[in-house]
Structure 1
Amino acid sequence: MTDLSSTIAPRRHRHRLIGTVAAFLLLAAPAPLARAAPQDPVPRTLPSLTNWTPGHGTYSYGPGARLVAHDAASRRVAATLADDLHAAGRGTVPVTGGPSRTGDIVVDVEPSRSGSLGAEGYELHAAQRLEITGAAEAGAFYGTRTLLQLLAQGDQVPAGRTVDVPRYRERGVGVCACYVHISTDWMENLVRDMAYHKLNQLLVELKVKSDRHPEANTWGYYTRSEIRRLVALGEKYHVTIIPEINSPGHMDPWIENRPDLQLTDSDGKPQPSRLDITAPAAFDYYKSLIDEYGEVFPAKWWHMGADEYMLGSDFAKYPQIAAYAKKKFGENATPQDAFIDFVNRVGEYAASKGKRLRIWNDGLTGANTVPVTAGTTVEHWLGVKVKPSELIAQGYPVMNSAYSLYLIRGGFHTDTQKLYDEQWDPRSFEGEKLASREGITGAKISLWPDNGRGETENEVAAAARLPLSHLAQATWSDPHPDATYAGFTARAEDVGTAPGQRDLTQPPVADGMYTLADTRHRTQAAGFALTRTPDGYLTLKSTATGNCLETRSGKLTLNLPLQPGSAVTRETCDAKNTLQRWQVTRSGGGYVLTNALTRMTLNATPDGRLVQNPPDQQTPTVWTLTQR
């Protein structure tokens, strides 16, 4: 009997503080489609158009519009555009081989235009027809994103022409789904909105459920089917998804149950977060993880992190590392050389799998005699002794991942208005401003979950919307297109959000009094008051006790109770307690309740208890909600 009236009731500890993910999701409905056409001389888009030659008249989008595409690449772009037009409420638009006529949208991929358009640029020409041309498929695709933004403001596009080419080739978002599990719906919303704003690279530090190392499958992981679905969406929307398994530090999600792989300090104490870089078995273990990830991530990049290996400690506590370095590289070698050697060995193995290496910069302290392998991309987030200009001079591609761009769940949030007013661009690193773009691949905003209960996914999404818009602007085009920040925020509001996103802030049931029943065990529960929270979840308050359902027991990770099978109990209601927030989704004639933070479902056991479990470990309980 399940009696709900009685039974329910450091990232990484990293210096870079980190707060979670979220991305340009929407917390409100998409902007209305029937807005008046903008009066600006240049059509309003985000990123803005750097050149626009006006024509005479307008292009009018109407019910007779068709998508005209002649070759396979153009048809793929057109098919995606057709999907998005339908999702935006613009009807079903056919894709045809032409010939084109008034009112049509022509999509063309012309490789001969690569000299002027590059791999991602496009030309858009609006007249009686609207023509989008790219030298490559990605360029034509980005032209369709501009069109979608224009149509979000009305049916009329002013006649004219633009050639729009990005300033930087890497325009990214980093999401640490490390330790915690971020919902795939949220991640998919992020991919769509990234593409809508012409961002092209999503770094995800996460755990894929391992077949080879089941002892590592503590909760927070993603199944292979979840990753394949996310990667497929990224491929459709030209967002490269790059995986990261941070090493040799921050390895505890993988090796906390493998003391044989952990670095042991001079007191004989194993360190669960530090991989033993001197042990061949540890390197073999990491290679096996690269192999597993290669089965679901086709990206030609591998991010190994390589940051904060000695955070909270120093090499002096591990004399075996210095001994290893001297044995391998001579008496003048330093412990840092052993660290760089590990980085280079990972890079060599990744290269053998067709992948190029990326690392964070803070491990490059200058205390090494062994250089990092040429061609390794360095993502610069922290000001240390070795400056970005030095790395570029040494030939390393450098990405700006400045701490000033971070959003940390429950902690530091980037000050977008300040950056905008300062006309920040990717040349502005932590500790150094460069005069030239040469050697800079682009920039990335990072979303980290150091305090797992500090904010919900929906709150992070709301906080990230304008920072991500600003990053998109600064990496593609003029970093300061509007005279004021208010003007820029108005631009962002005008273009709206990507078609096809799910509004994750609208529960499928209204506030009110309900009786809950577990359909699996056919047992009835007492009444609960369901109340929507400001961020779009629900609280469940027992009418019998006045307490709210909460998950709080079990092992804590990043301030979250992430132990599968731990109890869900009735606790004193607290509007600020994010662990009392639940996502309700329809399923099989009823509803599944998922904790907003732990991302585990509320399940009833045969003996009358309530517990939380990952949905792939136990089939989620389906609840009926009967309004009273």
Structure 2
Amino acid sequence: MRRRWRTVGVLVALTLLLTAPLPAVAREEPATPVTVPALTAWTPASGSYTHERSARLVADGASERRVADTLADDLRDAGHGTVPVVPGAARPGDIVIDVQPSRTSLGSEGYELRAGKRLSVTAATETGAFYGTRTVLQLLAQGDRIPAGRTVDVPRYKERGVGVCACYIHVSMPWLENLVREMAYHKLNQLLLELKVKSDAHPEANTWGYYTEDEIRRLVALGKRYHVEIIPEINSPGHMDPWLENRPDLQLTDSDGDKQPSRLDITRPEAFAYYTSLMDEYAQVFTSKSWHMGADEYMLGSDFAKYPQILKYAQDRYGPDATPQDAFIDFVNRVHDYAAGKGRKLRIWNDGLTGANTVPVAAGTTVEHWLNVAVKPSRLLAQGYPLMNAAYALYLVRGGFHSDTEGLYDQSWDPRGFEGEKLASADGITGAKISLWPDNGRGETENEVAVALWPALRHIAQATWGDPHPDATYAEFGARGTAVGHAPGWRDLTRVPVPDGSYTFRTDGRSFDAEVRRTADGYATVRTADGCLEIRGGKLTLNVPLQPAVEAAPQTCEAGNTLQRWQLEPAAGGYRLVNAITRMTVSVTDDGRLVQYPPDRRTPAVWHLSS
């Protein structure tokens, strides 16, 4: 009897257990696909899209076909095979590009992405569709399967940039091309480039390092294809020493009669004519509708009192109450009007706007704010100027200050955070940029700069496109960059084309024996019996020997000496020797000496190596 009741009890307990409601089990929500910038939102669906070799790119209109053609090339470069671009109806497995101008809620750069049996990118503009394809590439970089779902992704700021001063130290074109591709991959849209284009009208200004017109045309064409606007800058009226070195007649003279080679004499009509003639030459190769004139640090380390002619110019033009600062603003406004007459909008730095002027800066001039001066960002916005955040905290100085990207991320920095003022609203703020400066030109090589640049680039992309803090930790945010990798077509510039070892270098008129060793940053040292080959001598600019004809000769080997690092650039069955810092190539003189020259001024030696 006792056993029977025990059995009945067990049966009752089991019945109660089986009929009782089950406790709720937490179900893990599907993760949002990983991208940089992070997707604004993601609505998951059942299933997935799988990219297979049978995939096609379906594009009907001219805009869609341009986007699809670029995507097809990028898919090939990324190892996803040859994907044909076709018109007509889509089938499962295809990628569809669709531009619908009626989708105005997507703005000029937003897009909608749907993943299911096929992928579809829809936008109101060609640019928006292009950005949708960058997301497609990032997702496929993590595998051929994309979870089904939908996102609508629209940027918060219209200007998302990188500024590069290639104005003294030459930056190689492959490095700049890598930058354009990386910017586009992360949905950055402005490369603000301070540099010198070799001038036909003013050959006396063609000191190194300049770029040829053909080089710039190729870079601009790449930017156009990848929706990166390349905005040129010739900094003026200060920092003009790259242009005024051989023009003492245009240099500002102080009350002691001393010439100031970095300062343009803004009181002289010839100075304005000179500057605008350079603008006209740049207009032949740059297609941007903006012009950056710099306008920073004109009186750096000095003051207007040493230049009485500037006050006289201002009072003659604007009356007895005018200030020297009015002459400076007058020059800015004349450049503004000249640029406007050519269909271009003006951009300037903020530090010259000290409030000491009675003449206002022309309306519509974009101010890039980098320095905390008397006129605060809020006042510039109240005066109606478009304002871009170019804060010093976002700088990477070659051989000097590097932006604390991790600290900025942890603080949830966004473009409202200016030097000296945090704004409550984003109204009137166009966006933000990181800036690369060459202050200590030999302090780091291009490849070393790149190591610091890529995290900063991804951070500014995130902070200007969407939520500035999408992940709980900076390490998690950094993992996004690792997941998406580099842009298709990005070139590894750290690869040395010959293995370490001993070689004989031979070219017409010269041969020598040397040991080649790869450096940690991807260049090579060339060590002879007398020491390591180094560029040394001549006039220094930013601590770099940038004069042509300076000799490359053996010196005591020093591990940290960047002037002893060389790129072996493949050419005609051999290699050119390009200095990692000066970016000039080695030529051989009639008496057998090795000297550096810009490659368009003297034929570089082609070295044939044998071991």
- Pairing partner for 1:89 from 79, 84, 104: 79
Indicate which of 529, 533, 555 corresponds to 2:515. Answer: 529
| 1:608 alignment partner AA | G
Q: In the alignment, what sits opposite 1:189?
A: 178
Displacement, 1:179?
1.1
CA shift, 1:493, in A, is 0.7
Q: CA RMSD in A?
A: 1.0
Report the AA paired with residue 524 of structure 1: S
Scaled by the length of structure 2, the TM-score of the pair is 0.95
- What is the rounded CA distance, in whole Å, between the counterparts of 1:226 and 1:501 in structure 2? 18
Task: Answer yes or no: is 1:122 the counterpart of 2:111.
Answer: yes
Say which of 283, 299, 307 aligns to 2:272: 283
Aligned equivalent of 1:101? 91
Equivalent position of 1:515 in the other structure: 504
Which residue of 1 is the match for residue 569 of structure 2?
585
- What is the Cα deviation at residue 603 of structure 1? 1.4
Aligned-partner residue type, residue 474 of structure 2: Y
Match of 2:353 in 1: 364
Query: How far apart, in 2, do the equivalents of 1:153 and 1:502 lie?
Result: 19
For residue 565 of structure 1, what is the aligned residue in structure 2? 549
Cα distance in 2, alignment partners of residues 465 and 240 from structure 1:
19
* 2:20 aligned residue: none
1:377 aligns with 2:366: yes
Name the aligned partner's letter for residue 81 of structure 2. G
For 1:616, which of 576, 600, 610 is the aligned residue? 600
Residues 1:77 and 2:67 aligned together: yes
Distance of 1:299 and 1:205 partners within structure 2: 14
Distance 1:602 1:510 in 2: 21
1:112 is paired with a residue whose SS is: coil
- Answering whether residue 532 of structure 2 is matched by residue 548 of structure 1, we say yes
Unaligned runs of 5+ in 2: 1-27
Residues 112-191 of structure 1: pairs in structure 2 closer than 5 A:
112-113=102-103, 115-191=104-180
Relative to structure 1, the CA distance from residue 378 to residue 511 in structure 2 (aligned partners, 3 Å threshold; closer, same or farther) is same
> Deviations 1:439-481 (Å, cap 9, x if unpaired)?
0000000000000000000000001110110000000010000
Say whether residues 1:42 and 2:32 are aligned partners.
Answer: yes
1:412 to partner: Cα distance: 0.3
Task: Report the secondary structure of 1:111's partner residue.
Answer: coil
| TM superposition shift of 1:604 | 1.4
Q: Distance in 2 between matches of 1:524 and 1:505?
A: 26
| Residue in 1 that maps onto 2:590 | 606
Question: Shift in Å at residue 134 of structure 1?
Answer: 1.1
Q: Which has the larger radius of gyration?
A: 2
CA distance in 1: counterparts of 2:410 and 2:592, whole angstroms:
58
Residue of structure 2 equivalent to 1:8: none
Tell me which amino acid in the other structure corresponds to 1:533. Answer: T
C-alpha distance in 1 between matches for 2:588 and 2:331: 47
Q: How does 1:24-39 map to 2 (within 5 A)?
A: none
> How far 1:180 moved relative to its partner?
1.3
Q: Which of 250, 257, 263 is residue 261 of structure 1 equivalent to?
A: 250
Q: Whole-Å Cα distance in 2 between the matches of residues 230 and 261 of structure 1? A: 31
Q: Tell me what 1:273 maps to.
A: 262
Corresponding residue number in structure 2 for 1:26: none
1:485 maps to 2:510: no
CA distance in 2, matches of 1:538, 1:360: 38
How do 1:452-467 and structure 2 match up within 5 A? 452-467=441-456
Q: Give the C-alpha shift of residue 606 in structure 1.
A: 2.4
What is the CA-CA distance between 1:252 and the residue it aligns to? 0.7
CA distance in 2 between partners of 1:324 and 1:368 (Å):
14
- Among all aligned residue pairs of Structure 1 and Structure 2, give the percentage whose two residues are the same amino acid: 71
TM-superposed CA distance for 1:524, in Å, is 3.2
The CA distance in 2 between the partners of 1:194 and 1:185, in whole Å, is 14
| Amino acid across the alignment from 1:625 | L
Letter in 2 for 1:580: Q
Q: Quick one: which amino acid aligns to residue 605 of structure 1?
A: T
Pair 1:594 & 2:578 matched:
yes
- Cα deviation digits, residues 100-129 of structure 1 (max 9, x gap): 11100001111111x211110000000100
Post-superposition offset of 1:39? 9.4
Work out the CA distance in 2 between the residues paired with 1:265 and 1:256. Answer: 17
Task: Please list, as runs of the form range in 1=range in 2, the aligned pairs for 1:231-246 lying within 5 A after superposition.
Answer: 231-246=220-235
CA distance in 2, matches of 1:189, 1:49: 24
Could you say which residue in structure 2 is the equivalent of 1:55? 45
Output the amino acid matched with 1:155: D
Q: CA deviation digits over 1:265-295, x for unaligned, max 9? A: 0001111111011000000101101100000
| Residues in 2 aligned to 1:488 and 1:92: alpha-carbon distance in whole angstroms | 32
Looking at structure 2, the residues matched to 319 and 467 of structure 1 have their Cα atoms a distance apart, in angstroms, of: 44
Question: C-alpha distance in 1, partners of 2:123/2:606?
Answer: 48
How do 1:371-410 residues align onto structure 2 when only pairs under 5 Å count? 371-410=360-399
Deviation of 1:98 after TM superposition, in Å, equals 2.7
Q: Give me the whole-angstrom Cα distance separating, in 2, the residues matched to 1:622 and 1:227.
A: 25
| Equivalent AA in structure 2 for residue 597 of structure 1 | I
Secondary structure, aligned partner of 2:592:
coil
Distance 1:40 1:594 in 2: 51
* Matches of 1:130 and 1:247, distance apart in 2: 49
Q: Residues of 1 paired with 2:53 and 2:538: CA distance?
A: 57
- What one-letter code is carried by the residue in structure 2 that aligns with 1:54? P
Q: Counterpart of 2:525 in 1: which secondary structure? A: strand
Cα distance per residue 1:31-85 (max 9 Å; x no partner): xxxxxxx996100100001111111100000110110000000000000000000
Mapped partners of 1:587, 1:396: distance in 2:
50
Residue pair 2:533, 2:555 contacting (<8 A) in 1 also: yes
Q: Distance in 2 between matches of 1:80 and 1:618?
A: 37
Equivalent AA in structure 1 for residue 515 of structure 2: A
CA contact (8 A) 2:30 2:44 kept: no
602-611 or 206-215: bigger deviation = 602-611
**Deviation sequence 1:226-263 (CA, Å, 0-9, x none):** 00000000000000000000000001100111111111
Q: Helix, strand or coil for the counterpart of 2:102?
A: helix
> What letter corresponds to residue 205 of structure 2 in structure 1?
A
CA distance in 2, matches of 1:575, 1:103: 53
CA distance in 1, matches of 2:76, 2:566: 31
1:450 alignment partner, SS class? coil
Under a length normalisation based on structure 1, what TM-score does the superposition of the two structures give?
Answer: 0.92
Q: Structure 2: which amino acid aligns with 1:79?
A: D
**Which amino acid is the alignment partner of residue 147 of structure 1?**
V
**Offset at residue 607 of structure 1 (A):** 1.4
Off by >3 Å, runs of 4+ in structure 1: none
C-alpha distance in 1, partners of 2:99/2:542? 47
Cα distance in 1 for partners of 2:93, 2:604 equals 49
Q: Which residue of 2 aligns with 1:203?
A: 192
- Work out the CA distance in 1 between the residues paired with 2:496 and 2:590: 28
Q: Distance in 2 between matches of 1:278 and 1:606?
A: 47
- Per-residue CA shift, 1:554-580, capped at 9, x if unaligned? 111110000101111110000100000
The letter of the residue matching 1:334 is T
